[in-house]
């Protein structure tokens, strides 16, 4: 028996990029309304709770082997740009970074993954419209370097058990500077603290908070967890710093859309937007 999997849509197995996406659009409830050189206009209608449908008119483009998507400005219902809602200045949607980025569509399977990711993204947009927040546990880092640190932090957190990874993804882990140390809090209670220049977190004789060890042990003697704790503090602190820099840069490019409560760029006064020189 052959191991080759045949696409469910006949005659499209050779297609890539935008052509592949258009070929399987109907399978995802999308209607291609217009085809342009290097782009297409599609009406996407994700299912909504209660059995209805909700239309988005999108422009799907392709450049340099990567597919991009943004809302048609003539039928706008989403913000023109919003970091929390993962809409870039210019309107393109950020669907993921690195291994989570589906924009390099090299076959029909990749096109199906792209559509699946897009429909989930649009579902989150509907949630944000109603709740004025991005779904909890679905927040992703902004910017390539911050995304890499997020992936790394998630792996480090998983070493202590599923509970810490879940807390991280739910936003219950934060870092803050206290004197010459970086403190990692879980639900506002100290989990780890790392002094500047130190090779280990403080209080290595405390019990390791992990749930993965067969026999409970102090942090210093619990496998690689002492080092994992140090690296987790650094990864989360670095991610938060990069995110803050990203938000400052974003605020220089686009104003706050006002659709998210507690928006991180709402309090940033951008020189580019208040009439003064924008700077480098």
The three-state DSSP-derived secondary structure of 81-140 is: CECCCCECCCCEECCCCHHHCCCCCCCHHHHHHHHHHHHHHHHHHHHHHHHCCCCCCCCC
- pLDDT for the residue numbered 214: 83
The rounded percent of the chain whose pLDDT value lies above 90 is 72
Closest among 247, 205, 199 to 84, alpha carbons compared: 247
Q: Mean of the pLDDT values across residues 56-78?
A: 93
Residue 74: pLDDT band with limits 50, 70, 90 = very high
- Residue 99: pLDDT band (50, 70, 90) is low
User: Which of 187, 161, 190 lies closest to 178, judged by CA?
Assistant: 190
162-169 helix and 144-158 helix, angle to the nearest 10 degrees: 150
Is pLDDT of 60 > 60?
yes
First to last CA, the chain: 61
The reported pLDDT for the residue numbered 274 is 42
Which of 64-68, 99-103, 231-235: highest mean pLDDT? 231-235
| pLDDT at 97 (0 to 100) | 79
Residue 51 in this model has a pLDDT that exceeds 70: no
Query: Where are the chain's structural domains?
Result: 17-131, 144-253
Question: Is the CB of residue 271 less than 8 Å from the CB of residue 252?
Answer: yes
H helix and E strand count, the chain = 5, 7
| Mean pLDDT calculated for residue range 226-252 | 95
The whole-number average pLDDT for the span 81-109 is: 90
Q: Are 257 and 79 in contact (CB under 8 A)?
A: yes
Res 49 pLDDT > 70: no
**pLDDT higher than threshold 50 for residue 141:** yes
Nearest-angstrom CA–CA distance, 41 and 58: 6
The answer to whether 43 and 118 have CB atoms below 8 angstroms apart is no
pLDDT tens digits along 147-188 = 999 999 999 999 999 999 999 999 899 999 999 999 999 988
Euclidean distance between CA atoms 167 and 154, whole angstroms: 10
Segment 112-117 shows an average pLDDT of: 95
């Amino acid at each position: 028996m052959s191991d080759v999997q045949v696409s469910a849509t006949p005659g499209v197995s050779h297609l890539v990029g935008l052509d592949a996406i258009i070929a399987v659009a109907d399978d995802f409830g999308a209607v291609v309304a217009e085809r342009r050189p290097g782009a297409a206009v599609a009406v996407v209608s994700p299912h909504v709770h209660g059995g209805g449908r909700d239309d988005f008119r999108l422009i799907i483009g392709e450049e340099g082997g990567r597919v991009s998507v943004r809302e048609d400005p003539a039928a706008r219902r989403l913000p023109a740009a919003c970091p929390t809602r993962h809409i870039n200045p210019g309107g393109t949607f950020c669907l993921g970074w690195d291994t989570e980025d589906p924009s390099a569509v090299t076959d029909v399977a990749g096109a199906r993954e792209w559509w699946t990711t897009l429909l989930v993204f649009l579902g989150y947009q509907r949630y944000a419209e109603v709740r004025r927040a991005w779904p909890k546990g679905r927040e992703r880092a902004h910017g390539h370097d911050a995304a890499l640190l997020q992936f790394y932090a998630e792996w480090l957190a998983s070493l202590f058990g599923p509970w810490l990874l879940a807390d991280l993804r739910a936003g219950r882990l934060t870092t803050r500077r206290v004197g010459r140390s970086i403190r990692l809090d879980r639900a506002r209670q100290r989990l780890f603290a790392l002094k500047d220049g130190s090779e280990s977190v403080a209080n290595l004789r405390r019990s390791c908070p992990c749930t993965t060890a067969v026999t409970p042990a102090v942090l210093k003697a619990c496998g690689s967890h002492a080092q994992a704790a140090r690296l987790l503090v650094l990864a989360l602190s670095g991610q938060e710093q990069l995110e803050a820099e990203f938000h400052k840069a974003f605020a220089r490019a686009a104003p706050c859309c006002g659709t998210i409560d507690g928006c991180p760029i709402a309090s940033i006064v951008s020189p580019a937007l208040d009439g003064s020189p924008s700077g480098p």
